[in-house]
């Protein structure tokens, strides 16, 4: 079974965790912990549940359990402060709160050949609302405004991820495409998504101009495009409009 969340794939048959096309090194107990949390994501998993599933009921200290939970969070780009994916409920246990899509593992030979076949043929269909926000281009000609364009990209990624049932690629993977020539169909295969949101940001004084395009990765066609001109002070309002 494959569990897809953000830009990660947890393959329980191959016992692999991947971020995009990259294999994420994962200790066996950390993998088992993630597997158990994701499989039982509909309810809170107690410490005793984890100890029984991961350590087969052996006596385990709270420190050892905490270490494994922190390692699991680190493997999927989460941490104890944000708890974006693995949430701790004091005196209750833990719960995986990310949006998960399930797919069957491909029945292929070696790991490398399987990965190539996955990329080329898409053994599972992307979620209906699956999207990546590519880094917006800074058109201001001012290197100091680069952080501003990146901030717009990150904010839109966060806003889209709040939509119920959405599958949104995380910012860390999205930014690996920054400054690169874009092949939409390749991005669609690599990230298993249907849509790409891209655009540009231009700031002049107290005014902000944002050009945005929503594209279908299979046809490379524009589904929607628009331009927004507003005072910089109205950035949050602009994001809501987008």
Q: What is the pLDDT of residues 26-75, one digit of tens each?
A: 888 999 999 999 999 999 999 999 998 888 878 888 888 999 999 999 99
- The DSSP-derived string for 138-168 is E-SS-GGGHHHHHHHHHHHHHHHHTSTT-EE
pTM of the model: 0.51
Residues 6 or more apart whose CB falls under 8 angstroms from that of 152 comprise 136, 201, 210, 235, 239
**CATH number assigned to the domain covering 2-103:** 1.10.10.10
* Distance in angstroms (rounded) separating the CA atoms of residues 206 and 201: 13
Residue 104: band (very low, low, confident or very high) from pLDDT cuts 50, 70, 90: low
Residue 129: band (very low, low, confident or very high) from pLDDT cuts 50, 70, 90: confident
End-to-end Cα distance, the chain: 35
Let me know: does 45 contact 95? Beta carbons within 8 Å.
Answer: yes
Q: According to the model, what pLDDT value does residue 125 have?
A: 52
Higher-pLDDT residue of 200 and 126 is: 200
Q: According to the model, what pLDDT value does residue 116 have?
A: 45
Q: According to the model, what pLDDT value does residue 111 have?
A: 43
Q: What is the pLDDT of residues 161-170, one digit of tens each?
A: 887 777 888 8
Q: What is the pLDDT of residues 192-238, one digit of tens each?
A: 888 999 999 888 778 888 899 999 998 888 899 999 888 877 777 77
Let me know: does 99 contact 165? Beta carbons within 8 Å.
Answer: yes
Residue boundaries of the structural domains of the chain = 2-103, 130-241
Nearest alpha-carbon partner for 157 in 198, 120, 194, 185 = 198
Residue 112 has pLDDT above 60, yes or no: no
**CATH number assigned to the domain covering 130-241:** 3.40.50.10610
Q: Percentage of residues in the chain with pLDDT exceeding 90?
A: 28
Q: According to the model, what pLDDT value does residue 127 have?
A: 56
Nearest alpha-carbon partner for 164 in 219, 72, 99 = 99
- For 48, other C-beta atoms within 10 Å of its C-beta total 10
Same fold, 2-103 and 130-241: no
- For 105, other C-beta atoms within 10 Å of its C-beta total 17
Residue 92: band (very low, low, confident or very high) from pLDDT cuts 50, 70, 90: very high
Nearest alpha-carbon partner for 33 in 48, 51, 20, 16 = 51
Residue 96 has pLDDT above 90, yes or no: yes
Q: According to the model, what pLDDT value does residue 211 have?
A: 92
Residues 6 or more apart whose CB falls under 8 angstroms from that of 132 comprise 168, 169, 173, 174, 187, 191, 193, 195, 196, 197
Residue 108 has pLDDT above 50, yes or no: no
């Amino acid at each position: 079974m494959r569990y897809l969340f953000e830009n990660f794939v947890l393959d329980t048959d191959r016992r692999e965790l991947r971020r995009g096309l990259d294999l994420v090194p994962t200790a066996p107990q950390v993998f088992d912990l993630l597997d158990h949390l994701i499989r039982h994501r509909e309810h809170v998993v107690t410490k005793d549940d984890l100890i029984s599933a991961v350590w087969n009921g052996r006596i385990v200290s709270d420190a050892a359990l905490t270490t494994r939970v922190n390692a699991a969070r680190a493997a999927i780009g989460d941490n104890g402060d944000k708890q974006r994916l693995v949430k701790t409920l004091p005196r209750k246990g833990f719960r995986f709160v990310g949006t998960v899509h399930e797919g069957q593992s491909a029945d292929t030979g070696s790991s490398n050949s399987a990965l190539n076949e996955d990329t080329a043929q898409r053994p599972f269909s992307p979620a209906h609302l699956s999207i990546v926000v590519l880094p917006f281009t800074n058109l201001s000609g001012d290197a100091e405004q680069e952080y501003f364009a990146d901030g717009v990209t990150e904010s839109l990624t966060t806003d889209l991820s709040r939509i119920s049932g959405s599958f949104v690629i995380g910012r860390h993977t999205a930014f690996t495409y920054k400054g690169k020539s874009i092949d939409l169909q390749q991005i669609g295969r690599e990230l298993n998504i249907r849509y790409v949101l891209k655009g540009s940001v231009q700031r002049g004084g107290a005014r902000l101009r944002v050009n945005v395009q929503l594209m279908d990765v299979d046809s490379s066609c524009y589904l929607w495009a628009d331009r927004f001109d507003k005072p910089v002070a109205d950035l949050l309002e602009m994001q809501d409009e987008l």
